Structure 1
Amino acid sequence: MLADAGLPVPKTVVTESFDQAMEAVRKMGAVVVKPLFGSLGTGMVLVEDPEVAYRVFRALELGRYVYYLQEFLPHNNEDYRLFVVGGEVISAMRRRGENWKTNIACGAIAEYVEPDPVLSQLALKTAELLGADYVGVDILISHGQPYIIEANGIPGWTGLQSVTHVDIAGVLAEYAIRQVQLAINKD
């Protein structure tokens, strides 16, 4: 959906076919294999070697899993999380990891950053396209180009809350109350 709208995303292949998954590795080289349902970086695997891909994909095949593969983009072990509520970026952080995974739960460090205007526009457009009242948009920079790597419909914000002055829970609660009041007033 995001790619169809012209937003920058890594090349992505979603398939139930072992052969198509292997072909994706041959074409893209290194890929991040992601679970369809997951959080905190758990279950993501970086596959750079066709032999390893073969073994990983055969194991996934046994479980009848869907292959969700994203082209790996070098990113200096950092990315950005922008938190959007009600059509506004309320806060942002940079996450720096010891390796390619930049999830706080995987040991990355959160640093507050002022929301960059370019990244903010990407996050806002993502939320708009998804029809999301709130969303955490993860963006990495590779070779000077931003890429949206994920839009989290149930984003964790512990890391962000630890580095921002914004009361994220309060903002979400106030937004929800306003939405309920608008709905009541419509009737």
Structure 2
Amino acid sequence: MKMGIISEEKDWITCELERAMIKKDITPIYIKPSKIASFTGMDIKFKHNKENIMDLKCAFVRNLGNVSNYYRFDVLKYIEYYIPLINPTEGLENAGNKYRTSILLNINNISHPKTVITEDIDKALIWSEKLNDCVLKPLFGNQGKGIVRLNNKNLISKINILNEFKKKYGVFYIQEFINNPNNIYRDIRAFVIGDEVVSAMYRVSDNWITNIHQNGKAEKCELTDEIIELAVKAKNATGLVYGGVDLMESSDGLKVIEVNGAPSWEGLSRVSDVNITEKLIDYVLNNLI
């Protein structure tokens, strides 16, 4: 049996997937998105070097490289007609676009922070004042890149920040800042496979940006009914097979901040009691192929 790992680069996650596949007598096939050729009106559909992608049982989507290259994502949609992708393209689109995520959380009545999305700089200014302590985020992006906190900024500073943000990103995604009731900077990353939260961690920092890639530290987090319910609902709402759901503690319970369709579990694996990679591959073997 062959399984694909779609990634422009090798990293800790792709190497973990490769290791776990080999352990289960599965042949891992690396597929660089930039090296895929697709064909129409012919007997062949896709080629990656000499490898026929149609021979794969499934493929894990990890890193497409140039995210502005829409062709690469369109190729995935074409491939998905023939083999399962983990995660599915629709789920990746939903989780990769913060506006789509917020809409789906709202439709499914999943607790999340007050959020305003607009292209209008005047409305963005008005709502940044109304929300007071709030965070400005790009619609697309992860690892805490490009986000700005607007607390304690005077009017001129806010206008300058919003103008620069508008030039760079075009759309304002403004979310209320959730103060942790324990007066610490931390959030929760819950890792969901199917309908199971397999592990969770606190991401703790001396800064309000708690991402592991921004020097946040992983600490073990015991699962609670509230974490499990919210994380599974959020993952399912976005249409993912597996996902990393970010939760914030607040004075009135947990709130979902983001859902990640290609999450890393390198930091989580250091504090987890389970082998997340093997759990993920077992789920795919038992449920998807």
Q: Secondary structure at the match of 2:218?
A: strand
Question: 2:106, 2:283 → 1: CA distance?
Answer: 29
Counterpart selection for 2:258 from 141, 150, 163: 150
Q: Which amino acid aligns with 1:31?
A: C
Q: Secondary structure at the match of 2:105?
A: coil
1:12-161 to structure 2, matched below 5 A, reads: 12-48=115-151, 49=153, 50-63=155-168, 65-75=170-180, 76-161=184-269
Question: 2:169, 2:145 → 1: CA distance?
Answer: 19
- After TM superposition, the structure 1 stretch with the greater mean CA deviation from structure 2, 95-104 or 137-146, is 137-146
> Percent of aligned positions with the same letter in both sequences?
36
Structure 2, unpaired ranges of 5+: 1-103
Question: 2:168, 2:186 → 1: CA distance?
Answer: 32
Question: 1:71, 1:144 → 2: CA distance?
Answer: 14
What displacement does 1:121 show? 0.4
Which portions of structure 1, spanning 4 or more consecutive aligned residues, are displaced by more than 6 angstroms? Answer: none
Q: Which amino acid aligns with 1:163?
A: V
Question: 1:108, 1:64 → 2: CA distance?
Answer: 25
- Which fold has the larger relative contact order, with Cα–Cα distance below 8 Å and residues 6 or more apart in sequence? 1
What displacement does 1:129 show? 1.6
Structure 1, unpaired ranges of 5+: 182-187
Q: Which amino acid aligns with 1:58?
A: N
Question: 2:176, 2:146 → 1: CA distance?
Answer: 16
Question: 2:239, 2:167 → 1: CA distance?
Answer: 35
Question: 1:130, 1:148 → 2: CA distance?
Answer: 12
Question: 1:96, 1:149 → 2: CA distance?
Answer: 15
Aligned to 1:185: none
Question: 1:71, 1:63 → 2: CA distance?
Answer: 21
**CA RMSD in angstroms, aligned pairs only:** 1.5
Q: Secondary structure at the match of 2:161?
A: helix
Question: Is this contact kept in 1: 2:134–2:174, CA < 8 A?
Answer: yes
What displacement does 1:64 show? 5.3
Larger Rg: 2
Question: 1:69, 1:13 → 2: CA distance?
Answer: 5
Q: Which amino acid aligns with 1:155?
A: P
Question: Is this contact kept in 2: 1:98–1:107, CA < 8 A?
Answer: no
Q: Secondary structure at the match of 2:219?
A: strand
Question: 2:280, 2:156 → 1: CA distance?
Answer: 46
Deviations 1:32-77 (A, max 9, x none): 1111221211111111223322111101222352111111111220
Q: Secondary structure at the match of 1:79?
A: strand
Q: Secondary structure at the match of 1:165?
A: coil
Q: Secondary structure at the match of 1:137?
A: strand
Q: Which amino acid aligns with 1:52?
A: S
TM-score, with structure 1 as normaliser: 0.90
Q: Which amino acid aligns with 1:13?
A: V
- Distance verdict in 2 for CA 1:62–1:137, change over 3 Å: same
Question: Is this contact kept in 1: 2:138–2:169, CA < 8 A?
Answer: no
